[in-house]
Amino acid sequence: MKELLVIRHAKSSWANAFQGDFERPLNDRGHRDAPAMAERMMKRGMGIQCFASSTANRALTTAVYFAEAYGKKKKDILLFPELYHAPEATFYDVIASLPDHYNTIALFSHNPGITDFVNSLTNTRIDNMPTCGIFAIKANTNEWNLFKRAEKEFWFFDYPKNDL
pLDDT digits (tens, 9 = 90+) for 136-157: 999 999 999 999 999 999 999 9
Provide the domain limits for residue 33. Answer: 2-158
101 domain residue, yes or no: yes
User: How far is CA 114 from its chain centroid?
Assistant: 9
In a domain, 67, yes or no: yes
Does the pTM surpass 0.85? The reply is: yes
24-77 per-position pLDDT tens digit: 999 999 999 999 999 999 999 999 999 999 999 999 999 999 999 999 999 999
Q: Are strands 78-79 and 104-109 parallel, antiparallel or unpaired?
A: unpaired
**What CATH number is attached to the domain comprising 51?**
3.40.50.1240
Interior angle at CA 66, CA 61 and CA 67, nearest 5:
90
Per the structure, the count of domains in the chain is 1
What residue spans of 70-136 are helical by DSSP H? 88-96, 113-121
